[in-house]
Amino acid sequence: MNSLNEFVIGVDYGTDSVRSVIVNAGTGKEVATSVYYYRRWQQGLYCNPAENQFRQHPQDYVDGLETTIKDCLKKAGVDIAAQIKAISVDTTGSTPVAVNAQGIPLALLPEFAEEPNAMFVLWKDHTSIKEAAEINAHAAKYDTNYLQYVGGIYSTEWFWAKLLHVLRVDEKVRTAMHSWVEHCDWIPFLLTGGTDAKNIMRGRCSAGHKALWAAEFGGLPPNDFFAALDPLLDGITDKLYKDTYTSDVSAGTLSAEWAGRLGLSTDVKIGVGAFDAHMGAVGGQIEPYYLSKVMGTSTCDILVAPNADMQGKLVAGICGQVDGSVIPGMAGLEAGQSAFGDTYAWFRKLLEWPSQSLLLQTQLVDAETAQKLVDEISGKIIPELSKQAAALPLNDNAEVAVDWFNGRRTPDANQLLKGSISGLNLGSDAPRLFRALAEATCFGAKAIVERFESEGVPVKGLIGIGGVAKKSPYIMQMMADVLQMPIRIHQFEHTCALGAAMFAATVAGIYPDVQQAMEAMGGGFDVEYTPNAGLAGFYSNRYQKYLSQGQYFEQNTTSH
């Protein structure tokens, strides 16, 4: 099959932006890429970090989709549009939204255009902590364990907790809402011109990992389960779905409207969507029992295993194990850390306060020069901290941090938890605190690996993808030393978008399955970090301090 002149588009919706890439389906070579930063999100609209509220307007998603694909086509040249065969999409998650009967997000209607509860509830929104706790308590009353495939603990970051919270706090949205839809399911519905919410094709990935769907249950838990939890949920399953689809399945073809907007053919196939880290694992050429770690604002850790190996195994405290959620025919297991890059970004922002608050007020230089100084300082903080932290002598009594700055995702989700730093003294400077934070994120990764292994799922090594993996050698080497495992860094810069492109090539029929697409389109790895065996004992001792500190704060603090 000659696929050298066949091209596909992968669309990757991240926390801050959406990126589209055009990829040669025969070689996996990136032809063009374009990124769009969400305009309203950049302005901080509809978010209240102090209340853990993070909402995104669907218009930002629509604008970004059109802008990036058209920009890619322009960069690639006029002749390539006719050779685009398919588009597949990944998004953050769980990031659901209330839609009307036509499948339109309520915030796209004039009467809800400025209502945060009518917008997409971003994965990192933790306003539904109370509802998640109620779901966990409620599930314990049933003979059937409806949480068994999501690690036994339901998280505030997920589908049902967010839905129940929105229904409780906003009567107008509750009245207008017909269904509740994940971002990764809505974009394919949009591109295919869907007009009926009941026809939205729900992805196996989002449904299994966040919404309690399981083939063993015959779909979602029964209506009685939800009606008994809260009467506001009575009848909601009738407006959702019974069937789910893996991402090698087509959701339809590009609608006439979107074909016209983008300059593409209505023959272009649209794939069923999935979460970013799941498609990113495919883009990063995941192998059985290698943990694919997508390192961005948070981490999402993906492991695949043959279904036969997982018979009788249920890994406690992770974000689910779902047949076909990553690679059809294999079990996909998900874990992750709620704050990874966000931890470093928080510390950088803390250190930026003098320049952001004082330097811009100076009368010593003009405003343009002051702004350039602020921007230069901001860009150099993390690289310089990394350099100076790496030069510090190893000290078993150095500051210890715990990485729960946005709660704990895994193992054992608890979004009430907070980050901490101990062992501070008058010699605790910025490089020492940065080292403690870096250690904490690596120890959080170790806790995840240990949970898999203690539950009988071996981890052979790590595959690092995402911004931190590509840009932070200091943190990657530390992680290899902490885990005493090799870490391979995938060579493709936009790995999630590449994974989406691999699924698009499969949906288009260019490859019979995603494994063959992955083999043909994957470019391999450009860096490998090998562990320093001589540091095993040092980091083992430090890790025990991390565990002890975390245990203390978990047992002795409560946040509301």
Q: Is 141 exposed, middle or buried (0-12, 13-18, 19+ CB in 10 A)?
A: exposed
Per-residue pLDDT, 558: 60
| Region 451-472 average pLDDT | 94
pLDDT over 80 (residue 39): yes
Per-residue pLDDT, 293: 95
Per-residue pLDDT, 149: 96
Identical fold between 7-284+493-525 and 341-491+530-556: yes
Q: How far is C-alpha 123 from the geometric centre of its chain's CA atoms?
A: 8
DSSP characters over 1-56: ---TT-EEEEEEE-SSEEEEEEEETTT--EEEEEEEE-HHHHTTTT-BGGGTB-EE
Q: For 475, how many CA atoms within 13 A lie in the half-sphere containing its CB?
A: 30
Higher pLDDT, 270 or 311: 270
Q: From start to end of 74-123, where are the E strands?
A: 84-91, 96-99, 120-121
pLDDT per residue as tens digits for the range 211-223? 999 999 999 999 9
pLDDT tier at 4, thresholds 50, 70, 90: low
Neighbours of 199 (CB within 10 A): 12
Q: What is the pTM of this model?
A: 0.92
Give the tokens for residue 541: 């001792």
Per-residue pLDDT, 1: 41
Instruction: Look up the CATH superfamily of 7-284+493-525.
Output: ATPase, nucleotide binding domain (3.30.420.40)
Dihedral sign computed on CA atoms, order 463, 464, 470, 473? negative
Per-residue pLDDT, 192: 98
- What's the mean per-residue pLDDT of the chain? 96
Per-residue pLDDT, 2: 45
pLDDT over 70 (residue 544): yes
pLDDT per residue as tens digits for the range 96-118? 999 999 999 999 999 999 999 99
pLDDT tier at 297, thresholds 50, 70, 90: confident
Percent with pLDDT over 90 in the chain:
95
pLDDT tier at 557, thresholds 50, 70, 90: confident
pLDDT tier at 560, thresholds 50, 70, 90: very low
**Highest averaged pLDDT of the listed ranges 250-254, 412-416, 489-493:** 250-254
pLDDT per residue as tens digits for the range 44-86? 999 999 899 999 999 999 999 999 999 999 999 878 999 999 9
Q: Does the domain formed by 341-491+530-556 have CATH 3.30.420.40?
A: yes
| Region 537-552 average pLDDT | 98
Give the tokens for residue 261: 């907007």
pLDDT over 80 (residue 204): yes
pLDDT tier at 171, thresholds 50, 70, 90: very high
CB-CB contact of 385 with 430 (8 Å): yes
Length reported for the chain: 560
**Domain parsing of the chain, residue ranges:** 7-284+493-525, 341-491+530-556
Q: For 413, how many CA atoms within 13 A lie in the half-sphere containing its CB?
A: 25
pLDDT over 50 (residue 413): yes
Write down the number of H helices and E strands in the chain.
18, 20
Per-residue pLDDT, 268: 98
Nearest one of 161, 213, 46, 41 to 407, comparing CA atoms: 161
